[in-house]
Amino acid sequence: MSDLKPEPKKLFIKTYGCQMNVYDSERMAETLGGQGYVETSSPDDADMILLNTCHIREKAAEKVYSELGRYKGLKAEKPDLKIGVAGCVAQAEGQEIMRRQPLVDLVVGPQSYHRLPEMEAKTREGAKALDTDFPEEDKFERLKSRPKAARGPTAFLTVQEGCDKFCAFCVVPYTRGAEVSRPAVQVLDEARDLVDRGVREITLLGQNVNAYHGAGEGGDWSLARLVRGLSKIDGLARIRYTTSHPNDMTDDLIAAHGECDKLMPYLHLPVQAGSDKILKRMNRAHTAESYLKLIDRLREVRPDLHLSGDFIVGFPEETEEDFQATLDLIRAARYGTAFSFKYSTRPGTPAAERDQVAEDVKSDRLQRLQALINQQQRELQDAMVGREVSVLFEKEGRLPGQMVGKSEYLHAVHVAEANVARGEIARVRIVDSAANSLAGVLN
């Protein structure tokens, strides 16, 4: 009898979209690791290709079909190659993906990827596998324990999924389902495990993360209580969270920004528009004034808070006056960075049926908005010169001896001839500012 172990199968995952998809891809790779798969960086030598998709951006589904088309030749050369589609496009398109692209063997929604081992086994028997259900069981309870391999100094940790807000432009409630929060003990255990493997900073993830209400000791825990619980973990130095909704920024969470040293002074708080008329038609359920007052409260408890946001320009029926209101809000809020996009229709959402703004008008407004955001970002970056920041070093830089990391404000910082190790946190004096990074020297 041979003692030779079978060669591991190779898995290539391409991840689209948000940080939650990055986390999901990690967990899918770990789940398939139990079936003998190891990750590879190239689809050419893979035994399975898995596209973890996002439905937020324009023409998301068509981009997935285009990517699948690139694998036709590879599938012809390797008939045993299995190709799967996961994530939100999989949830939305389902059977249509298999109909349009017969080379696809497996389609799995974001709430069902704990079933991947059974689905993979089915494809090895020559059958197709489709699962886009919203199962009753908790997928996190069914997932295998994370392997004990060493990790980099930062990690994502999903604590909440789904959304009940039903913004008029968004497909998330339809692809990710209703809001569900993981039990606090489950989150704390996973966080401790990550720290044991070298993680120093954890970013808590959720489609609407500050709506977190996970079961815990004494009743449901809020996100603020979860942050305070995580801050007690020895070795965990930094905590962040994203993405949040203004209507769920509670008093206890605002207080946590001023009281919890491990909660970093950076907040991504999407507003989408500055016109109350447009906000109402987006079904955002807040006003520009209430948003700005919220920012004032946050900066009262944490004056050095750096703010990030999301903006949609050219939403149906947006006028130039509405757009100017958005620019006014940006000037008042003083963003360190922001993400901005032209509105694009999502079939099945209320906004898709409304009168659309002309494409050239959208492009012009986006250019003007991004110019203002870039100006604010550069001014805040330049203001960092001469200041001292705390940098978590994550990797070697491009130059010999250079190390690169992130400040508490999420600025990329590079230090020449830095005698520090990966995962170390050190004080750095900023000496120069570039468009997207800062240069510093160790103090």
- Report the pLDDT value the prediction gives residue 112, as an integer from 0 to 100: 85
- Report the pLDDT value the prediction gives residue 130, as an integer from 0 to 100: 93
Q: Measured between alpha carbons, how far is 60 from 363 in angstroms, rounded to an integer?
A: 19
Boundaries of every domain in the chain = 9-131, 145-264, 388-442
Second CATH level (architecture) for the domain 388-442: Beta Barrel (2.40)
- Report the pLDDT value the prediction gives residue 93, as an integer from 0 to 100: 83
Which residue carries 């009898």 as its tokens? Answer: 1
Tens-level pLDDT at each residue, the chain (443 residues):
445 566 889 999 999 877 888 888 998 998 898 888 999 999 999 999 999 988 766 567 788 889 999 999 999 999 999 999 998 888 888 888 988 999 999 999 888 888 899 999 999 999 999 988 776 666 677 666 656 567 889 999 999 998 999 999 988 888 788 899 999 999 999 999 999 999 999 999 999 999 999 999 999 999 999 999 999 999 999 999 999 999 999 999 999 999 999 999 999 999 999 999 999 999 999 999 999 999 999 999 999 999 999 999 999 999 999 999 999 999 999 999 999 999 988 878 899 889 999 999 999 999 999 999 999 999 999 999 999 999 999 999 989 989 999 999 999 999 998 899 999 999 999 999 998 899 999 98
> pTM of the prediction?
0.84
Element (H, E) at 48: strand 48-53
Q: Which fold has domain 145-264?
A: Transcription Regulator spoIIAA (3.30.750)
Neighbours of 431 (CB within 10 A): 14
Is 260 known to sit in a ligand binding site? no
- Report the pLDDT value the prediction gives residue 89, as an integer from 0 to 100: 85
CATH 3.30.930.10 fits 9-131, yes or no: no
Q: Measured between alpha carbons, how far is 248 from 209 in angstroms, rounded to an integer?
A: 9
Q: Identify whether the C-beta of residue 429 lies closer than 8 Å to the C-beta of residue 387.
A: yes
Q: Measured between alpha carbons, how far is 175 from 180 in angstroms, rounded to an integer?
A: 13
Q: Measured between alpha carbons, how far is 311 from 409 in angstroms, rounded to an integer?
A: 20
Is 88 known to sit in a ligand binding site? yes
Q: What is the DSSP string of 400-417?
A: TT-EEEEETT--EEEETT
Q: Which of 311, 318, 408, 400 is nearest to 356 (CA)?
A: 318
